[in-house]
Amino acid sequence: MKHMFLTCLLLLSGTMLMAQERIVKGRVTSALNNEGLPGVNVLLKDTNTGVVTNTNGYYEIAVPGPEAVLVFSFVGFLSEEVKVANRQSLDIRLMEDLEQMSEVVISGTRRAEKITETPATIEVIGKRELENIGTFNPGELLARVKGVDFVRAGVVGTGINVRGFNSNFNAKNLQVTDGRFSTLIATGLPMGPLNTVIKEDIERMEIVLGPNAALFGPNAHNGLLNTITKDPRGSAGTIVSLGAGNQSMFTARARHAQVLSDKFAFKVTGEYTRAEEFDYVDSVYLGAVVPKRGVVEYRLDNDIKFLRGETGLYFTPVSGTDIIVQAGASNSTYLSPTNVGRNQIRDWNIYYAQAKLVHNNWFAQLYHTWSSTDSTYSIDDRTKAYHAIKAANPEMSEAELARQSFSTGALFRDKSRRWNAELQYNNHIAKKFYYTFGAQWQRDMANSMGTYLLDKNEDDYITLNQIGAYGQFDYNFGQGLKATAAFRGDHHEIYGFNFLPKFGLVKSGEWGGVRLTYGQGIAAPTILNMYGDLFSGLILGNAEGFTMADGTKIEKQKVEKMQTFELGYRGQPMGNRFSIDANAYYNISENFLSPATLLGVATQRGNQPMSEVQSGYAAYNGLVISYVNFGKFNTYGADLGLSYMLTDALSAFVNYSYFGYSIDEQDLANDFNKDGKVTQTDLLVNSPNHKMAGGLTYAGSKVFGSIFGRWVEKYNYFSSYQIASETIPGATWGGMPIVEDALSGNAWNYGPLGGFVTFDVSAGYKFSPMFRLSAQVTNLFDTEMREFTAAPPTGRLFSLELRVDLPAIK
């Protein structure tokens, strides 16, 4: 009887709740012009249940009862919270958020929250900035984000580093797109230009400064770039963009989104872009005594070409449930800097397919990523092989020389794939205690077809599995005080188990928010680090350790660990026109992941003789370059951003960042190059101590534009064979003295990076809601500035772009 009574009680309660649930309809408009706002998020407070407004600003949502509260949020506008009560119709007018203090972000806790209330330092590039930049490359906007080390490697190569330790192969900043890892399978590098997303489909980009591994996983170590694309239900219509500029640049992009019914919507995008790289020849050196310019890179191709596109189908079977299926592909050709000269990226293909289920408190996804190329190669190695073969065979034909120039391992082929799955549940108790639990699975299946990994052929996959579980708990004490605790546990087949906690305390109010956080992050060795086989085995991965000729044991590579303490504030302490965003941090790092470094002569890799591992053993006799862990050191810094609205349309901002470090010079564990002393060439900081940026932005009803300037302090840079340094008396790199404007090891040392001031300008005009024309000049004064090694100095770039917005089909 007792069980029957409880069952009846539960059924009765459920029936009452269902009886209370009803549909609320309404329209969201802009307070500036009363126009409907498409794409506004309408969420039931304290849940992940919600809808987005259609192209005219209308929405329809099921609410559980009169106590329900709806949260209306939209990029660039102030959020509104409204209690439903007994209303069946609810119209909302949103005010523009001039300082983005009510910006809603998801990257801090994987749950929608105001940017002033999240326990992380997050910068946002929003819809307006993306629409008003007159270029196909949204990565250029990353230069304006404080706390970010922005580098440009040629016409299209834009990249970021956060809080030190950059390199030409930097896998310590995680790139995520719509919840999936946008990283290459074998190298772990961010996809960057290889991505499948076009600018017109990006809703916003969120940049997290500092570790966020507790929720996003390994390699959200120094930072996270989270790209979120547009939902077609809130962005229906057709966009066509055409652009042209110097360096023979031409781009054509299109996006179409359509709402078919109250259950189905879809979108499709496409892009074709071509250009030519700056006229620059990276020197290749054939011996110790060579002219400054070395020899010309063999068969250098400056052509740049991108083809990319995506499609997505959104299905809402019942209110509060979404099934989303997406797929995308890209084909890319361009020049990419590496630790050893440049790579000729040729027809590198990326494909993905993703399915997501979002239902009330549940989230699940499964996605598959493919990577393939047959003709990418190392220009440096191919050039050296060409000259060596030609010297030994002066009568050989050019066609045969071109074919045999790949014989030493210059050619990179790839047929890799990765599976990812995730399941998450979130809920709350009494609207004070919020919790999230999730689990993730990843299977990497790397295949270089025997060209740059220790696989043998196209059927020999290097397969690695890892599983992870995470949880987060938020408790609202009231009066704006919130505590956060998160954890993550990961198990990887090679580098084992790691546990990562995170804690945060946030106090927020109308004046903004103060946050104090502690977090841990790891940088995990990539498949290339563990199983690399480059240049006939000269560079080998370190998944099993090495035994050296003198009997010394080199341990297998393990994860790099970092702890971070951070204090931050974001708000408007003196009214709604002036805002401050500031943070200070302190990092403790250990087991630093080195770039490729010379180990010496080895007799074994793991338990296998080097003669069986190293295909070029006859030439190298066990001489090996690999990756190791070393050292323990501390880094610290601060970022400050100030902005002021001069008028409702004109704003000004200035950013400043400082980065420093300390290292125990008496601890020889920090002696990376094993010369018996600890110097600046051991730590490889590779970041400026100081940098600043500032600008003016005008966003009127018709005219828009900006002036942006940045200063980067001069700094020394070392990355494997690459060097950019001032003269350091008594120091060596690659076995040679570090002398500016001279050969150092295998590369010419042109001197430090940075040390420049540069300006960008943009302007545009909206002829109507349908047509807009924009123009942009990067590096306005053609300042000679070197931002990266093995890459051309950044020259002046200008572009002109026409965008046409066609209304949605009804």
Q: What is the CATH number of the domain that holds 64?
A: 2.60.40.1120
CA angle centred on 321, ends 318 and 322, rounded to 5°:
115
**Taking residues 763-782, what's their average pLDDT?**
95
Q: SS3 string of 230-288?
A: CCHHHCCEEEEEEEEECCCEEEEEEEEEEECCCCEEEEEEEEEEEEECCCCCCCECCCC
Measuring CA to CA, which residue among 130, 145, 152, 127 is closest to residue 797?
Answer: 152
- Whether 180 is in a domain gets the answer yes
**Taking residues 394-418, what's their average pLDDT?**
93
Q: Which of 33-42, 138-147, 267-276, 395-404 has the lowest mean pLDDT?
A: 33-42
Q: Which helix (H) or strand (E) holds 104?
A: strand 104-105
Q: Which helix (H) or strand (E) holds 204?
A: strand 202-209
Residue 537's pLDDT is 93
Q: Are 530 and 557 in contact (CB under 8 A)?
A: yes
DSSP line for 463-489: EEEEEEEEEEEEEEEETTEEEEEEEEE
* Residue that terminates a domain, selected from 62, 97, 132: 97
CA distance 663 to 661: 7
Q: What is the largest CA-CA distance in the chain?
A: 99
199 with 85, same domain: the answer is no
Q: 261 Cβ partners below 8 Å, 6+ apart?
A: none
38 with 137, same domain: the answer is no
Query: Would you put residue 178 in left (φ > 0), alpha (ψ -120 to 50) or beta?
Result: left
CA angle centred on 337, ends 336 and 339, rounded to 5°:
140
33-37, 344-348, 494-498, 588-592, range with greatest mean pLDDT: 344-348
- Whether 253 is in a domain gets the answer yes
- Residue 188 or 576, more confident: 188
Q: Are 670 and 628 in contact (CB under 8 A)?
A: no
* CA atoms within 13 Å, Cβ hemisphere of 358: 15
The label of the residue with tokens 């047959």 reads 374
32 with 159, same domain: the answer is no
Residue 275's pLDDT is 98
* Per-residue pLDDT band at 107 (split at 50, 70, 90): low
Q: 195 Cβ partners below 8 Å, 6+ apart?
A: 175, 177, 182, 227, 308, 330, 350
536 with 685, same domain: the answer is yes
- Whether 7 is in a domain gets the answer no
166 with 44, same domain: the answer is no
The 10 Å Cβ neighbour count of residue 242 is: 14
Q: Which two tokens stand for residue 370?
A: 């493919």
pLDDT at 776 over 50: yes
CA distance 312 to 324: 7
**Taking residues 56-66, what's their average pLDDT?**
85
380 with 507, same domain: the answer is yes
51 with 143, same domain: the answer is no
The 10 Å Cβ neighbour count of residue 113 is: 21
CA distance 693 to 706: 13
CA distance 180 to 12: 41
pTM, entire model: 0.87
Q: Which of 23-37, 98-112, 321-335, 690-704 has the lowest mean pLDDT?
A: 98-112
The label of the residue with tokens 């995170």 reads 502
**Taking residues 530-547, what's their average pLDDT?**
93
Q: Which helix (H) or strand (E) holds 181?
A: strand 180-181
Q: Which of 103-107, 358-362, 653-657, 728-732 has the lowest mean pLDDT?
A: 103-107
Q: 60 Cβ partners below 8 Å, 6+ apart?
A: 23, 24, 25, 51, 262, 319
- Average pLDDT of the chain? 88
Residue 12's pLDDT is 38
CA distance 445 to 418: 6
Looking at the chain, the whole-number percentage of residues with pLDDT higher than 70 is 92
Bridge-based pairing of strands 496-509 and 512-523 is: antiparallel
Q: Are 94 and 122 in contact (CB under 8 A)?
A: no
Q: Which helix (H) or strand (E) holds 402?
A: helix 398-404
Question: Looking at the 3D structure of the chain, how many domains does it have?
Answer: 2
87 with 132, same domain: the answer is no
Residue 117's pLDDT is 65
- What residues make up the domain containing 444? 121-715+753-806
684 with 648, same domain: the answer is yes
CA distance 761 to 739: 37
* Residue that terminates a domain, selected from 45, 63, 97: 97
* Residue that terminates a domain, selected from 97, 132, 167: 97
- DSSP classification of residue 190: B
Residue 566 CB-density burial (10 A; 0-12 exposed, 13-18 middle, 19+ buried): buried
Q: Which two tokens stand for residue 327?
A: 């797929």
Query: Tens of pLDDT along 278-295?
Result: 998 877 888 655 556 688
Q: Are 627 and 557 in contact (CB under 8 A)?
A: yes
Residue 288's pLDDT is 52
The label of the residue with tokens 């794409």 reads 39
* CA distance readout (Å), 664 to 558, 585, 637, 683: 22, 20, 18, 11
Taking CB atoms within 8 Å and a gap of at least 24, the contacts of 381-387 are 381/340, 381/341, 381/408, 381/409, 381/410, 381/535, 382/298, 382/299, 382/406, 382/410, 382/411, 383/284, 383/295, 383/296, 383/297, 383/298, 384/284, 384/286, 384/408, 385/410, 386/298, 387/286, 387/295, 387/298
74 with 218, same domain: the answer is no
CATH code where residue 202 lies = 2.40.170.20
Looking at the chain, the whole-number percentage of residues with pLDDT higher than 90 is 59
- Residue 809 or 801, more confident: 801
Q: Are 515 and 567 in contact (CB under 8 A)?
A: yes
- DSSP classification of residue 94: E
Residue 213's pLDDT is 62
- Whether 1 is in a domain gets the answer no
Q: Which two tokens stand for residue 632?
A: 């323990």
The label of the residue with tokens 């507790």 reads 214
Q: Are 503 and 487 in contact (CB under 8 A)?
A: no
- Whether 41 is in a domain gets the answer yes
Q: Which two tokens stand for residue 490?
A: 């990961």
464 with 501, same domain: the answer is yes
Query: Tens of pLDDT along 570-587?
Result: 988 887 789 999 999 999
CA distance 512 to 102: 9
CA distance 544 to 62: 56
Give backbone dihedrals phi and psi of 9, rounded to 5 degrees, phi first.
-65, -45
- Whether 125 is in a domain gets the answer yes
Query: Tens of pLDDT along 339-381?
Result: 888 999 999 999 999 999 988 789 999 999 999 999 999 999 9
* Per-residue pLDDT band at 240 (split at 50, 70, 90): very high
**Taking residues 651-672, what's their average pLDDT?**
87
Instruction: Count Cβ neighbours within 10 Å for each residue of 159-186 and write b for 16 or more, e otherwise.
Output: bbbbbbbbbbbbbbbbbbbbbbbbbbbb
- Whether 556 is in a domain gets the answer yes
- Whether 745 is in a domain gets the answer no
The 10 Å Cβ neighbour count of residue 465 is: 13
**Taking residues 225-248, what's their average pLDDT?**
93
**Taking residues 559-566, what's their average pLDDT?**
92
69 with 202, same domain: the answer is no
* Per-residue pLDDT band at 36 (split at 50, 70, 90): confident
SS3 content of the chain, % helix, strand, coil (to 5): 10, 55, 35
Residue 11's pLDDT is 39
